[in-house]
Amino acid sequence: MRLWAFLALLVLLAGLAVVAALTIPWHRSPAPRADQVLALRDFPAEQVARARAFHSALRPGSYGSMAIGLVIALVLGLTPLGAWIVTQAGRPFGGHWLAQAVLGGFAVVLVAEIVTLPFAAWRRSILLEYGISTQTWGAWTVDLLKSWAVGAVIGGLALAGFYTVTHFAPRWWWAIGAVGAAGLVVLLSFVLPVLVEPVFNKFTPMADGPLRTSLMELAARDGVPVKDVLVADASRRTKAVNAYVSGIGPTRRIVVYDTMLTEATPDEVVSVTAHELGHAKDGDVLTGTILGALGTAAAVIALYLLGSWQWLLDRAGVDSIGEPRAIALLLAMVTLAGLVAGPAQAFVSRRIEARADTHALDLTGDAVTFEAMQRRLGTVNLSDPDPPAWEHTLFASHPSTVERMAAARAYARGER
């Protein structure tokens, strides 16, 4: 089994490499540092200072939560404590393996959520202090409980399915589980925009008018069919502005925050929508889904191979990685893998976002409005226009504000 699993892992990793090589934009349009410096000077000094103070205030909570979350995952996964929690969770149901799988998984995750909850509240207090959040503590708590409920439903189904496979196919669960995990990633790509997004926001069709017409015409000119243009009631939660294209195929729609309609000009809304259409035009959601499916399948097989390491099993106090009592060990390995892969994922994301920026410039032909939109996004959202290089490299999913403004200036000069 280990040989077959190892060969399957090599095939998946090779497929992952091929898809990445063919779909990820390894070349990006220039954003000269000299232009970045000039762009930074366009921001009032007090605004830059306020944005940097805001992010400095956020860092202890963000990195503290990350560190404590890792410690909790390792303590639960690499000691018998995690297996004990799973056992106790299943005890009211006679220790049935399915009860252990679902309720034990909930219990392990809930421990980490509760321990890191003070950091989430800390972050929330900073958002309130700087005027980014518009939610009351009660509304924030409701959203938090909603997110836990959605995670419980998706996680519960995944755990039940996974451990059903390990229980009834103990020799081949790695193969069946890999296929099932990949299928789940694909399924969620289609259903999340339709079923989950409405849990957190109310979406209403944008009223007929010049802006809606411009956005629909923009999508048609770009060759990206969209079902509708919706407005999200983001203002009940935040003052931040944003827009995005959600869904795949028949579920695709343009979504604009109501905050953007009040803060940005119509041309700026068109500019940021052109960026989002770029993701659809280049198939970034589909590419992400394929990469996610292949990566998740590979992760399941890697967990199977690592799970046969007796030292790990002894540390966790379990007999097999395929038993429900090993849930905490699985989550510990997933947490570590996520931290290791994070910088590479951030790098790929920045390249994809830079390509979407270029798409927006090509589609609208308006570098001035694009730059104005980036300035507005940075100003309203209190983004650090030129963040520390180490932080940007490790965690940033988008080019910095000054990078995007510099890219627009280079584009206007004909540099590609």
At 285 the pLDDT is 84
Residue 21 pLDDT greater than 80, yes or no: yes
Q: How far is the C-alpha of 384 from the C-alpha of 398, rounded, in Å?
A: 12
pLDDT band at 125 (very low <50, low <70, confident <90, very high): very high
Least confident span in 184-198, 259-273, 317-331: 184-198
Residue 194 pLDDT greater than 80, yes or no: no
Residue-wise pLDDT for 52-61, tens only, equals 999 999 999 9
Q: How far is the C-alpha of 333 from the C-alpha of 335, rounded, in Å?
A: 5
* b/e code 60-88 from CB counts within 10 Å (16+ = b): ebbeebbeebbebbbebbbbbbbbebbbe
Residue-wise pLDDT for 151-165, tens only, equals 999 999 999 999 999
Q: How far is the C-alpha of 29 from the C-alpha of 270, rounded, in Å?
A: 21
3-state secondary structure of 26: coil
Mean pLDDT for the stretch of residues 262-267: 92
At 178 the pLDDT is 94
Find out whether 197 is annotated in a ligand binding site.
no
Residue-wise pLDDT for 160-193, tens only, equals 999 999 999 988 999 999 999 999 998 888 777 7
Of the residues 276, 371, 384, 403, only one is catalytic, namely 276
Residue 101 pLDDT greater than 90, yes or no: yes
Residue 307 pLDDT greater than 90, yes or no: no
| Tokens of residue 110, six digits | 């809930």
pLDDT band at 270 (very low <50, low <70, confident <90, very high): very high
276 given a catalytic annotation:
yes
Mean pLDDT for the stretch of residues 308-328: 92
Query: Model's pTM, two decimal places?
Result: 0.90
pLDDT band at 201 (very low <50, low <70, confident <90, very high): confident
Find out whether 275 is annotated in a ligand binding site.
yes
3-state secondary structure of 106: helix
At 218 the pLDDT is 94
Of the residues 357, 384, 386, 403, only one is catalytic, namely 357
pLDDT band at 277 (very low <50, low <70, confident <90, very high): very high
Find out whether 279 is annotated in a ligand binding site.
yes
The contacts of residue 325 (CB under 8 Å, 6+ apart) are: 82, 83, 86, 87, 100, 104, 317, 318
At 27 the pLDDT is 86
At 252 the pLDDT is 83
Residue 248 pLDDT greater than 80, yes or no: no
At 2 the pLDDT is 86
How many domains is the chain partitioned into structurally? 1
- For the chain, helix, strand, coil in percent to 5 are 75, 5, 20
pLDDT band at 131 (very low <50, low <70, confident <90, very high): very high
At 189 the pLDDT is 82
Domain of residue 205 covers 2-412
The contacts of residue 384 (CB under 8 Å, 6+ apart) are: 48, 51, 52, 54, 55, 400, 401
Residue-wise pLDDT for 60-91, tens only, equals 999 999 999 999 999 999 999 999 999 999 99
Beta carbons of 20 and 319 less than 8 angstroms apart? no
Residue-wise pLDDT for 380-413, tens only, equals 999 999 999 999 999 999 999 999 999 999 999 9
At 176 the pLDDT is 95
On average, the pLDDT of the chain sits at 92
Residue 1 pLDDT greater than 90, yes or no: no
Residue-wise pLDDT for 4-17, tens only, equals 999 999 999 999 99
